[in-house]
């Protein structure tokens, strides 16, 4: 037999050298199935699987492996590994002789021969076994590899590429997946089990345990068969689980790790991300008895737009950990009010000192009466716009939207980065109270726009992204709104003076709660950061008695305090377009104070009694406006409706001394609701006061078959269309409430 082995060796040595990659090339080309996200400091904050074809983790150096594992693998797969030069001729001769005598097949492939088959696709079996030519090539390649690689290099690469169980490739994946530890910590029994898996990775647990038992006996180990069977039954009969070393930002990883990238650097601050996640989880546990299960938090650097913390849910405690609560659309509640008042200030329709009537109001709509209420079901009477905004009063917000108009407000929200919005008439006046669906991402960045003097730019999770920017609102209005949101005294009417919105440093903040307490928000900014927190349920289930100050605000306060533990937050400087003036209020509606005004709307010369407002201060409660029809409405006349029943009802926001004027012809006086018989054409509808000044005006159009005779001249037809003298006198007065 020895002569045969030597002869075979001489033949094989005459084969040409087989080209194989170098050790360094293999390590450089190794790709994990998991990619990593780094924080802004270079630390790993998340591991995410990106390859579904196998599970490969970090590369393990030979020094990172347990000695008991190396001993067990060599004994199992190649007991003369350190003695031969790639081929164990003795083992191969014994296998060949055994096959000739008894027909029994015995494996004689060394670790080196197995490795070259992993490295070279042509050396792998094309069926159930290798052809004779493949075997010769495998032996030749093994001999060649050992000329250039050390034994430790061969063993290192082998253990990093071999499959142990199911899709677990490499010793690190096998060790962490089956035993929850790195390979340096493997003990004797675990090493025996792993070594026994190499020959048949998917064998039944009992078979693997039996093989490990035989291996233990051959190596003289003290691990008994009973112990190995128990371990195999415990480990190999269940699905494996790999606990990632870092799992702080799963939703950031899904956004950044695209296109097969192995590593991505983010703008996230790792310690802040962990703190934010912990604070959110703690707050959710604190109010879990009030049917609260989910939340999200976002932190953005005001100046750069870099996202510093992105906690999309509470992780394992969440009802749906795959849901991104930062991008999910929810009802905004009162959080849009600052942008509504900002638009009114910018348009010079209101000032922070303008008085708004916080009293019950019934607003007629095509769907019926809209009756807004305040959060506490209480009404405050005459309040300034400052108090109305900071104390989040609902009725004054609705009155402000009547002044601004829903369509214009939608356009402002779009400029602030809110996407997928409908037209204003889709929401109606309820959008003043937050009937619009927004995301925490959009909302937080819109508040960042307030912090940046009205300039909007997109936030980013990457350093290298170019950000576009635009002036979304005037710096003057943004400053006044920010000043109001930072006013503890004005906020006290609703929230009291001591609450989670009060910080030791300058901040501007707003809370919001949507209908039926389904969503709870707290969004605010300091001079350096903007923080947004959402609390609720991904299922849409309502919370139980959770307000802005008891739900999201405590978490917001903790995060903001962490950010400014060692950094001051300074009060913003007023822009050139605002001026401070002393104001007084009749009957002490509010205490006299110094107030900020957009330049040109301030009182002149002396402190002004707001109830005796000058031309620059508008009181919305004294100015009627056209509520219906909305601007640019198109009516289509239905010919199936009897002529005597065809009417359009013009509606004003309130009753007052004014005339209805249609195409320059007066058609009614002092009526909050006025019926009009429509005819084909385009119209301009106006409200005109007793001094013949236009208070409000809208355009609309009527399409369809004309309702009136067509054989008259244009002038006569116009007179007929605008003549409502045939209507009974009750319509000249507002309908009874």
Band of residue 70 on the pLDDT scale cut at 50, 70, 90: very high
Q: Can you give the CATH number for the domain in which 516 is found? A: 3.40.710.10
Identify whether 393 is part of a domain.
Answer: yes
Q: What is the DSSP letter of 604?
A: P
pLDDT at 314: 87
**556 domain-assigned:** yes
Looking at the fold, whether 20 and 122 belong to one and the same domain comes out as: yes
Q: What confidence category does residue 717 fall into, taking pLDDT thresholds of 50, 70 and 90?
A: very low
Task: Kindly indicate the confidence band of residue 368, based on its pLDDT and cuts at 50, 70 and 90.
Answer: low
pLDDT for 269 beyond 90: yes
pLDDT band at 436 (very low <50, low <70, confident <90, very high): very high
Cα 532 → chain centroid: 11
Q: Are residues 257 and 322 in the same domain?
A: no
User: What is the distance between the alpha carbons of residues 616 and 444, in angstroms, rounded to a whole number?
Assistant: 33
At 544-602, the pLDDT tens digits run 988 767 899 999 999 999 999 999 999 999 999 999 999 988 777 888 899 999 999 98
Please indicate, yes or no, whether residues 188 and 147 belong to a single structural domain of this protein: yes
Q: Is the pLDDT of residue 542 over 50?
A: yes
Exposed e or buried b for every residue in 157-185, given b needs 16+ CB within 10 A? bbbbbbbbbbbbbbbbbbbbbbbeebbee
Q: How are the residues of the chain apportioned to helix, strand and coil, as percentages rounded to the nearest 5?
A: 40, 20, 40
Looking at residue 693, which CATH number applies to its domain?
2.60.40.10
3-state SS assignment for residue 230: helix
Rounded CA-CA distance 510/521 in Å is 8
Tell whether 188 and 261 lie within a shared domain.
no
Q: What pLDDT, on a 0 to 100 scale, did the predictor assign at position 501?
A: 85
Q: Does residue 466 sit in the same domain as residue 488?
A: yes
Is the model's pLDDT at 195 over the cut of 90? Answer: yes
Q: What is the pLDDT of residues 437-469, one digit of tens each?
A: 999 999 999 999 999 999 999 999 999 767 778
Whether residue 271 is contained in a domain is answered as no
What is the mean pLDDT of the segment spanning 397-413?
Answer: 93
Cis peptide leading into 210, omega within 30 of 0? no
Pairing state of beta strands 681-688 and 694-703?
antiparallel
Q: How far apart are the first and last CA of the chain?
A: 114
Q: How, if at all, do strands 659-662 and 673-676 pair?
A: unpaired
381-406 average pLDDT score: 90
**Predicted pLDDT at 364:** 53
Single residue among 516, 535, 563 that ends a domain in this structure: 563
Average pLDDT over residues 416-421: 94
Dihedral of the CA atoms 387, 390, 392, 397 (nearest 10)? Answer: 60
Whether pLDDT at 392 is above 90: no
Q: Which residue has the higher pLDDT, 51 or 267?
A: 267
What is the rounded distance in angstroms from the CA atom of residue 620 to the CA atom of residue 357? 8
**428/557 same-domain check:** yes
- Looking at the structure, tell me whether residues 255 and 331 fall in a common domain: no
The Cα 369–Cα 736 span in angstroms is 13
| Residue 97: per-residue pLDDT | 54
396 and 535 fall within a common domain = yes
Q: Mean pLDDT lowest for which of 85-99, 306-320, 417-431, 568-582?
A: 85-99
On whether residue 614 sits in a domain, the answer given is no
pLDDT at site 608:
53
Name the least confident of 174-183, 306-315, 353-362: 353-362
Task: Label residue 621 by pLDDT band (50, 70, 90).
Answer: very low
Pair (227, 312) in one structural domain? no
Predicted confidence (pLDDT) per residue in 581-596, tens digit: 999 887 778 888 999 9
One domain, residues 47 and 138:
no
Question: Is pLDDT at 3 greater than 70 in this prediction?
Answer: no
Q: Is the pLDDT at 2 greater than 90, yes or no?
A: no
Q: How do residues 211-250 score in pLDDT, each as one tens digit?
A: 999 999 888 888 889 999 999 999 999 889 998 889 999 9
- Of 724 and 27, more confident: 27
Q: Would residue 221 count as lying in a domain? A: yes
Domain that holds residue 50: 38-55+248-266
Task: Out of 133-142, 365-374, 534-543, give the one with best mean pLDDT.
Answer: 534-543
- Let me know if residue 272 belongs to a domain: no
Number of domains composing the chain: 4
Average pLDDT value for residue range 681-707 = 81
Q: What is the pLDDT of residues 634-673, one digit of tens each?
A: 777 666 566 666 778 888 877 778 899 999 899 988 887 8
Do residues 382 and 411 both lie within one domain? yes
Q: How far is CA 533 from CA 346, 500, 554, in A?
A: 28, 13, 10
Last residue within a domain, chosen from 563, 585, 602: 563
Check whether residue 50 and residue 69 sit in a common domain: no
Final residue in a domain of this structure, among 563, 583, 603: 563
CB 33 within 8 A of CB 54: yes
Is 609 a domain residue?
A: no
Give the pLDDT band (50/70/90) at residue 130.
low
User: What CATH number does the domain containing 206 carry?
Assistant: 1.10.3810.10
pLDDT at 351: 94
pTM, entire model: 0.76
What is the pLDDT, as a whole number, of residue 1? 47
Tens of pLDDT, residue by residue over 476-531, are 999 999 999 999 887 766 666 567 788 999 999 999 988 888 999 999 999 999 99
Mean of pLDDT over the chain: 83
d(CA 663, CA 650): 14
Percent of the chain with pLDDT over 90: 52
In a domain, 497, yes or no: yes
């Amino acid at each position: 037999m020895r002569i045969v082995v030597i002869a075979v060796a001489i033949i094989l040595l005459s084969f040409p050298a087989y080209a194989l990659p170098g050790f360094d090339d293999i390590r450089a080309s190794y790709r994990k199935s998991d990619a990593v996200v780094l924080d802004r400091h270079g630390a790993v904050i998340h591991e995410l699987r990106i390859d579904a074809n196998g599970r490969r983790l970090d590369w393990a150096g030979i020094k990172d492996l347990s000695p008991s594992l190396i001993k067990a693998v060599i004994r199992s797969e190649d007991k003369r590994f350190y003695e031969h030069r790639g081929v164990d001729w003795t083992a191969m001769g014994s296998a060949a002789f055994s096959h000739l005598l008894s027909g029994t097949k015995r494996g004689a492939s060394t670790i080196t021969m197995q490795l070259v088959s992993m490295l070279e696709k042509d050396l792998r079996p094309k069926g159930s076994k290798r052809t004779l030519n493949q075997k010769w090539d495998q032996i030749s390649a093994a001999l060649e590899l050992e000329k250039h690689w050390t034994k430790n290099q061969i063993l290192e690469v082998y253990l990093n590429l071999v499959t142990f169980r199911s899709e677990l490739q490499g010793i690190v994946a096998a060790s962490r997946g089956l035993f929850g530890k790195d390979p340096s910590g493997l003990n004797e029994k675990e090493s025996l089990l792993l070594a026994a898996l190499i020959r048949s990775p998917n064998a039944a647990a009992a078979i693997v345990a039996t093989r490990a038992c035989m291996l233990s006996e051959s190596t003289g180990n003290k691990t008994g068969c009973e112990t190995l069977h128990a371990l195999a039954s415990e480990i190999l009969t269940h699905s494996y689980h790999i606990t990632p070393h870092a799992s702080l930002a799963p939703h950031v990883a899904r956004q950044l790790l695209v296109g097969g990238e192995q590593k991505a650097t983010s703008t996230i601050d790792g310690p802040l991300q962990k703190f934010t996640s912990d604070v959110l989880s703690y707050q959710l546990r604190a109010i879990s008895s009030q049917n609260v299960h989910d939340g999200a938090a976002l932190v953005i650097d005001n100046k750069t737009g870099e996202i510093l913390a992105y906690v999309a849910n509470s992780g394992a405690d969440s009802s749906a950990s795959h849901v991104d609560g930062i991008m999910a659309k929810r009802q905004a509640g009162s959080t849009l009010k600052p942008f509504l008042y900002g638009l009114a200030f910018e348009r010079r329709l209101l000032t922070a000192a303008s008085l708004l009537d916080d009293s019950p109001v019934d607003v007629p709509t095509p769907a019926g009466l809209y009756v807004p209420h305040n959060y506490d079901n209480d009404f405050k009477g005459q309040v300034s716009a400052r108090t109305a905004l900071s104390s989040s009063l609902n009725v004054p917000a609705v009155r402000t939207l009547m002044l601004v108009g829903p369509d214009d407000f939608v356009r402002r929200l779009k400029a602030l980065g809110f996407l997928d919005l409908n037209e204003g008439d889709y929401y109606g006046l309820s959008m003043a109270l937050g009937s619009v669906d927004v995301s925490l991402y959009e909302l937080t960045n819109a508040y960042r726009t307030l912090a940046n003097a009205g300039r909007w730019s997109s936030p980013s999770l990457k350093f290298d992204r170019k950000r576009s920017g635009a002036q979304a609102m005037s710096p003057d209005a943004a400053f006044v709104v920010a000043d109001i949101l930072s006013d503890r005294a004005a906020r006290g009417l609703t929230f009291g003076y001591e609450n989670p919105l009060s910080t030791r440093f300058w901040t501007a903040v707003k809370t919001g709660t949507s209908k039926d307490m389904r969503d709870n928000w707290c969004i605010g900014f300091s001079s350096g950061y903007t923080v947004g927190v959402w609390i609720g349920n991904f299922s849409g289930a309502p919370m139980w008695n959770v307000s802005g100050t008891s739900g999201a605000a405590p978490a917001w306060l903790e995060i903001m305090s962490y950010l400014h533990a060692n950094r001051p937050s300074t009060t913003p400087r007023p822009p050139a377009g605002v001026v401070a003036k002393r104001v007084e209020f009749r009957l002490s509606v509010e205490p006299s104070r110094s107030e900020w005004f957009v330049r040109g709307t301030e009182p002149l010369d002396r402190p002004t009694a707001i109830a005796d407002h000058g031309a620059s201060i508008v009181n919305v409660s004294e100015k009627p406006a056209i509520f219906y029809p909305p601007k640019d409405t198109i009516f289509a006349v239905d010919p199936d409706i009897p002529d005597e029943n065809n009417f359009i009802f013009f509606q004003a926001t309130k009753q007052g001394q004014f005339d209805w004027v249609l195409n320059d012809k007066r058609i009614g006086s002092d009526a909050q609701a006025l019926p009009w018989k429509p005819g084909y054409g385009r119209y301009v509808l106006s409200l005109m006061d007793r001094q013949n000044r236009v208070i409000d005006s809208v355009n609309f159009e009527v399409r369809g078959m004309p309702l009136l005779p067509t054989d008259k001249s244009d002038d006569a037809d116009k007179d007929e269309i605008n003549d409502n003298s045939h209507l009974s006198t009750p319509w000249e007065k507002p309908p009874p409430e």
